[in-house]
Structures are given as structure tokens and as C-alpha cells.
Amino acid sequence: MKFSRCTLRSVFTVCVLGSALLPLRAQVDVAAPGLPTVGVSLSGPLGGGATEIVSADLRRTGEMEPVGSSSGQYLATGVAGDSGITAQLVNKRNGQVIFNDTFTGPGRKSAHQFSDEITKAVTGLPGFATSRIAFISKASGSKELYVSDIDGFNVRQITHDNTISASPAFSHSGAKIAYSSYKSGYLDTYLIDVGSGSRTRIAFFPGINSGPAFSPDDSTIALTLSKDGNPEIYTISTSGSIENRITRTRGGETSPSWSPTGDRLVYSSDDHGAPQLYISSSSGVTDMDQLYTGNSYCTKPDWSPDGKSIAFTARVSGQFEIGSFDLASRQGHLVTTDGGEDPSWTRDSRHLVYSKNGRLYILDVVTHKSFPIELSVSSCGEPSVSR
């Protein structure tokens, strides 16, 4: 029941647009409903700003339509002040108070927390308004690591190394970021505690140590090591000890991403020519299961939190586009038409944050609508969304 709304709209969208794309999700033969409407009205000293934040958050989900306070099937009201937001959500059809809660996150975060609670109550899906993005920006003249909220606010520069920082990955807890840097002169992988800023170099084998990805329980990191003479996928503990070798080819393997259950990894390999996507067990060298996406050049896969899809970067006619591979039907399709690379899923498995020409965008893979994320820094790339 929870996913049927999304499913219906997927089918609906495809039919309406007359698109050649196949609906890849399960199909239910019922007329597509309109979006639930939510009246948002917060009062108090910070009420105006909070109303704007929550309305933008709800609209970004693609699952709800925020409307004026007097209308809407749901009514989100409360008081926003310096110490947070006390707010409630009412189902106007029956007058039922769905929740009445206090959100104490600092600054804009309390409004995002309220948004995620509304999203969960109305759609059953996890909201991602409280998510953050780790990314690389060259705005300072060298590639440094930054974080921001997913709506583009609260940009913070994490590294000031005057070298090349690369391939950041948020831990699932959101407390740590793993990334790679040439700080030592070599491409090594580091772990940063986002709160304290403390940094530990965890992988510095001879050769490259790059492209880290946290396992679902954050205990293990998959990455590329070339210590054997060419780039292979390995898993290591967060303290840097080798756990498993995953690949053994003459080509190069990069950009591992974990299945939500942690038992498998998807990655890119060019062992048979141009790079393609493969899935392997995360517990040792096994057969490589190739994903035939329909594109001759596929890199940078990201496994969706619901486990159903793998987003990737495809090279099409000399340009990068974002693709999505459906694991049930084993079919791939493009979800952008005017460029994009390095996709990263949000919690709801419906949106992708990606980069294009130095800007970050957020894409709704159901409606195919994409919006730029307005950031205070330019020359951005390699985004990773916190889950």
C-alpha cells in the first residue's frame, strides 16, 4: 500500500507523456490520484521563514503539494522560535491530529525535521529534508571538501589543504565522511568526523586508495586499491585493515556502492573494454554479474536505499547522462536528457543529486524534473547525499 502511490504516478506519468520509457515498477490498474495537499502555516518570531522552508521541502519530495493555510487535505501549523518549532499535523477530513511534536534542531534544521515528519505521515516514505550533501568544490582554487544542507543552505568548507580532495562519501549515520586526497602527495583515503573535524588517514597502500563507500552498518569501507599492480575493489575496516579483496581482473575497478543489505557491491570495471557495471559478493572474490544497461560506457553506480535500482553515469554521444538500472526487470534507462554525472540517491529512493557543469542538481526520477541546488560556491562535483 505504501508504495502504490509512487507506482501509480510512475505509470500515469509514462502514459501521459507518451514516453518510450517502460514503467519499471510494479503496476496497479487504478486511476492515478492527485498529490495530497498540505496547508503550511507557522507563526511565531521565525514563522515566516519556517513556513517557506517547510513548503519548499514538501514540494521537493514530489509527493505533496504545499498550499495556503486555509486549504489542503492536511494542515501543518505551529510556532517557530529560537529554541525550535512546536508543531502539529492535522488530517482535515476527519480532524484527527496525526502528530504534535517539538523539533529542536538548530537553525533551519528544526523546520527540516518537521518536514520529514510530515512526509513520513502523509506519504509513508522517508523524507530527506534533513539530509546533507558532501561534495567537492574548486571555488577556492583547489579541490576542497564541502558539506551543505540538501536545499543548498549552510555550506561549510571542511578541508583547506590546497591539494586535490576527491570522491567523498557520507556515512549512513551522517557523522563521518570518507574521502580521498593527495594531501600526502599520493592518493590516500581519509575519514573525517563531521562534528569535530578530526581526520584520520585510513588507507595509504602503495598506488591509489580512492572512491570509498560505507557499508550499511558503517563498519566497513569498500574502495579501490591498486596495491596489486592495477586498480581492484577491496573492503577495509574503518581503521584501515584489509577485510576482503572483491575483484581480480586485469582491468580497473572503481566506485563501489553497497547493496542496502550489505551482502553485495556494485562497481564499474573496464576489464572487457569500456567500463561496465558489475555486482559481486562483498565477502570475497566471486563471479562478476554484469548489468547490461544498454549503454556502452557506464561508471559511478549508486545502489538505491530500497535496493531496487542502481543509478549510474552513462556516456552517450560524447555527453554524460544519468541512468537507472532496475534490478527486478534487469533493464536500464536514462533519467536525464541534457547531461549529468555522479548520481547519489536520497533516502526515498526517488531522487538523485548529481552534478553537471560545476553545479549540483536534484532530480525526481518519477517525474524526470530536475532543479539546480543553489549553493554559495561554484565549480562543484562528486556529490554524496547523507542517508
Partner 1 sequence: MNIPRLALLVALTLAVAACSDDKNNPNYGGMGPDGGALPGSDNGDKVGNGNDASGGIPPTRPADGMNPDKADYTTLSSDTVYFDFDKATINGDERTKLVAVSEWFKANPGHALFLAGHADKRGTPEYNRALGERRADAVREYLVGLGISADVLYATSYGSDRPAIDGDTEEAYAKNRRVEIGVVVKQ
Residues that bind partner 1 (CB under 8 A): 143, 164, 166-167, 182, 184-187, 202-208, 210-211, 224, 226-232, 237, 239-245, 247-255, 268, 270-271, 274-275, 284-288, 297, 299-300, 313, 315, 318, 320, 341-342, 381-382
Report CA 160 to chain centroid distance, whole Å: 25
Q: How far is the CB of 286 from partner 1 (least distance, A)?
A: 7
End-to-end, the C-alpha distance of the chain in Å comes to 23
Collapsed DSSP state (helix, strand, coil) of residue 73: coil
C-alpha cell at 259: 547493496
Q: How far is the CB of 218 from partner 1 (least distance, A)?
A: 17
Task: With beta carbons less than 8 A apart as the criterion, state whether 209 and 194 touch.
Answer: no
Nearer to partner 1, 78 or 231 (CB): 231
In this structure, what are the phi and psi dihedrals at residue 283, rounded to the nearest 5 degrees?
Answer: -115, 15
DSSP designation for 16: H
d(CA 121, CA 345): 21
Q: How far is the CB of 210 from partner 1 (least distance, A)?
A: 5
Nearer to partner 1, 280 or 349 (CB): 280
DSSP designation for 263: S
C-alpha cell at 289: 554479474
Q: How far is the CB of 120 from partner 1 (least distance, A)?
A: 33
Burial of 175 (0-12, 13-18, 19+ CB in 10 A): middle
Nearer to partner 1, 196 or 317 (CB): 317
Q: How far is the CB of 387 from partner 1 (least distance, A)?
A: 20
Which of 132, 174, 171, 141 is closest to 159 using CA atoms? Answer: 141
Q: How far is the CB of 245 from partner 1 (least distance, A)?
A: 5
d(CA 300, CA 169): 12
Nearer to partner 1, 28 or 242 (CB): 242
The count of C-alpha atoms lying within 13 angstroms of the C-alpha of 130, restricted to the half-sphere facing its C-beta, is 23
d(CA 363, CA 356): 12
Task: With beta carbons less than 8 A apart as the criterion, state whether 178 and 214 touch.
Answer: yes
Nearer to partner 1, 76 or 213 (CB): 213
Nearer to partner 1, 131 or 254 (CB): 254
Nearer to partner 1, 12 or 297 (CB): 297
Nearer to partner 1, 122 or 177 (CB): 177
C-alpha cell at 360: 549540483
Dihedral angle sign, alpha carbons of residues 184, 252, 365, 341: positive
Q: How far is the CB of 53 from partner 1 (least distance, A)?
A: 32
Nearer to partner 1, 38 or 233 (CB): 233
Q: How far is the CB of 75 from partner 1 (least distance, A)?
A: 45
Task: With beta carbons less than 8 A apart as the criterion, state whether 161 and 183 touch.
Answer: yes
Task: With beta carbons less than 8 A apart as the criterion, state whether 181 and 203 touch.
Answer: no
Q: How far is the CB of 281 from partner 1 (least distance, A)?
A: 11
Q: How far is the CB of 116 from partner 1 (least distance, A)?
A: 30
Nearer to partner 1, 43 or 140 (CB): 140
DSSP designation for 35: P
Task: With beta carbons less than 8 A apart as the criterion, state whether 192 and 177 touch.
Answer: yes
The amino acid that residue 276 corresponds to is Q
